[in-house]
Chain A
Amino acid sequence: MAGTLEAWPFDPALDAGETLAWVQSEGVVALAAVRLREGLAGTPEPVRRAFEDAARAEAARLLMRQAEARRVLAGFAKAGIPALLLKGSALAYWAWPAPYLRDCVDVDLLFASREAAMAAAALLASDGYLRRQHFGEAATREFLCLRHLPNGSRLEMDMHWDLTGEPLFRGRFGFDELQASSIPLPTLSPDARGLGPVHALLHACVHRASNLASGGGDNLKWLYDLHLVAGGLDEPGWDTLCALAADRGLAGVCVDGFSTTATLFATSLPETAMAALRSASAKEALDPARLREWTYFQRQNLRALPDWPSRARWLWQRLRPTAHYREDVGVTWTGLVTDRLQRAWRQLRRP
């Protein structure tokens, strides 16, 4: 992905299925297929074929999501419900070299409020979408709308009313502010808009930071988002980003995200901007280097909540997912409680 390899770096006898599964778990299979197609000497033929097939399947899934997103966004526009596309659902259309290269499993949409998201969900319900809420609303700022298709596949719309559900990072940006600097995504639809480059980059840093404690933050797909958007930001964009990051207390997570990305992909980062972010980060209470520690992250989440009743509600709803969650994930109460206790024990014992 960094473009530094000239030959296949692994054992030629490596199992194609295992290689593919690992790359798929990182969400970069179509991108890897392109790199292999461009020519990496010594790539085993079964591996190259497996990646090509997976890239085709990814492109087909994109076509399905794209057609649905166009239809759904037109419906929201007609009903006067503003919505912004988030994460890969938007970045695929302006930051990535081609939309199919950005692996996505769902369409992420941001609404002005929970009420607006509910109104949008009511529209989707008339198309056969089911509203699924996996956690109580003290614990999250999103729900899922899900539609099963006759061919056995399913379409998912993630309906958000904040950029993140983690109390630690909630409420840093208002919808009006995000909408004012949003950008059109004409290759997707005349009704499609995504976060502007600065907000998209800040969101990518926050999203990564929110997922570090669960072990998923350094997913290659998300880091490559950072690489592409940061690499394309102009000087005024960096100035705005530095000012916003300092103002909203996000300088530390930006420095951590950019540094990790630059280590992997040699991302070009302006030194003045990085120095400004480091300086602002030193004044923040949050230690981004400790966000991988589950206990530290959850302590910061608890601290971010205003009072003990809110903390108790958040904790209870995090520990006790809804019946929708149990149905969708396919677990029983007993299995869920055992799993939660085992995970908490593992996290507490983690150095």
Chain B
Amino acid sequence: MDILSTRLIPSEQAIESRVGDEIVLLHLENGTYYGLDPVGTRIWALLKQDHGPVEICRLLSAEYEVAPETVEQDVRSFLTDLKSHGIVIEG
């Protein structure tokens, strides 16, 4: 199933800290951490506000004035990575 069609929520094991313009995310159990750039930080904020992946793509495409296909490709890759490390889970 396409990850963009999946409802995703932040894992309870994922905690965050702001580092300048970025957010650092840590998975408490496996120790994996991510430094999110401003776009990643925006996606994370939208996920926490309970926006679904399709809605996130639509908002980013409008905010950054980027073609929807490009945004979808990037968000898909980003969310797949977060999910594979347990930072987000299916809700």
Contact = CB atoms under 8 A, between A and B. Distances in A.
Nearest to A64: B26
Nearest to B18: A98
Contacts of A34: 20
Given A56-B33, A60-B33, A150-B29, A67 B15 contact: yes
The interface centre, meaning the residue of A30, A59, A64, A100 with most chain B CB atoms within 10 A of its CB, is A59
A63 B31 contact: no
A4 interface: no
Contacts of A56: 19, 22, 24, 33, 35
Contacts of A100: 17, 19, 24
A63 B26 contact: yes
B17 to A, nearest CB: 5
B33 A57 contact: yes
Interface in B24-58: 24, 26, 28-33, 35
A59 B31 contact: no
B16 interface: yes
Interface residues of A, number: 23
A149 interface: yes
A60 B24 contact: yes
**Range class of the B interface residue count:** 10 to 19
A62 interface: yes
A59 B19 contact: yes
A40 to B, nearest CB: 15
Contact of B24 (A37, A63, A149, A152): A63
Contacts of B19: 30, 55-56, 59, 98, 100
A40 B19 CA distance: 18
Contacts of B15: 63, 66-67
Contact of A59 (B24, B28, B30, B32): B24
Contacts of B28: 63-64, 67
Contacts of A55: 19
B14 to A, nearest CB: 10
Interface in A105-163: 149-153
A118 B29 CA distance: 28
A151 B31 contact: yes
Contacts of B35: 52-53, 56, 59
A96 B42 CA distance: 26
A29 to B, nearest CB: 12
6 contacts: A37-B20, A53-B35, A55-B19, A60-B26, A63-B28, A152-B31
The 7 A-B residue pairs with the shortest CB-CB distance, nearest first, are A151-B31, A60-B33, A56-B35, A59-B24, A63-B26, A59-B19, A60-B26
